[in-house]
Structure 1
Amino acid sequence: MNREVVYGGVFDWLHDRVGNDVITWSRRLKHWSDVPEIQQPAVFLAQNGEQLDRLRAVWTLRMDVYVYVNTGGDEDAVTATEMNHVVDKIADALRPRRELGETEQTLNGLVMDCRIEGKIETDAGVLGAQSVAIIPLVILAVD
């Protein structure tokens, strides 16, 4: 397995399918306070650990997808609305094509599976203009 091909492939897959709805994309994580409002919505992917199942020769790779949305000075805007839209687009991009009988999202054969797994942490910006979502991904790849 080539880690950079896998991590870069996940990034490219999401960028290609969600890209028009996001202004800033990076694999270098920034804090939301370091991303100007004009550069949001922003998506950052960060590696978050790996584990090898030696019996099956399968790697479990973890990434977190950070989504930042800032509605700026619009006091009537519901910040969560745009955040939810981007999170939905990411979820759709990782959904297997069940109508074709697929049960895994292989990213066109790059990995065995790539899916959202675990709790999506959110701060919907109820006390301000900034909202954040952290989406946990699990990627299974052959050793």
Structure 2
Amino acid sequence: MKNQNYKSHSRLVFGFHGILFVLIVALLIGSFRNLMKSDVSTTYGAYLLVFIPFILFFMMYYIRAFALKAQDRAIRAEEKLRYFILTGNTMPDKITTRQIIGLRFASDDEFVALVDRVLNENLSEKEIKKAINNWKPDTYRV
């Protein structure tokens, strides 16, 4: 795997973000075509078939959202522990989860200084990631 940085740290899984999405869209189009061609005796089944891609879209969204929420909680705990190990103090409550998620890529050498900068300048997650000089890769994310 190549080195991570601000431009290369995002991750798209081709099978999930590409193929699965295209297949669900194809199912949606096909189910609508089936509905348009249905007659009185097959309308109920055709409507049920139209619901399947919508159910799959909801599942696709929530499967991803739930995994990311659990990952965010783990990142928050890890980075708070890292801050405590480096400083002997608890991380200030003013720092949001999104900011902590941006801080996870900072090396130990710049982490504490970057936390202070976040507190003083209220940097966004994106600004934090751009401010990191020595990028610490996160290869185990969802």
User: TM-score, with normalisation over the residues of structure 1?
Assistant: 0.29
More helix by share: 2
Indicate the structure (1 or 2) with the bigger Cα radius of gyration: 2
User: TM-score, with normalisation over the residues of structure 2?
Assistant: 0.29
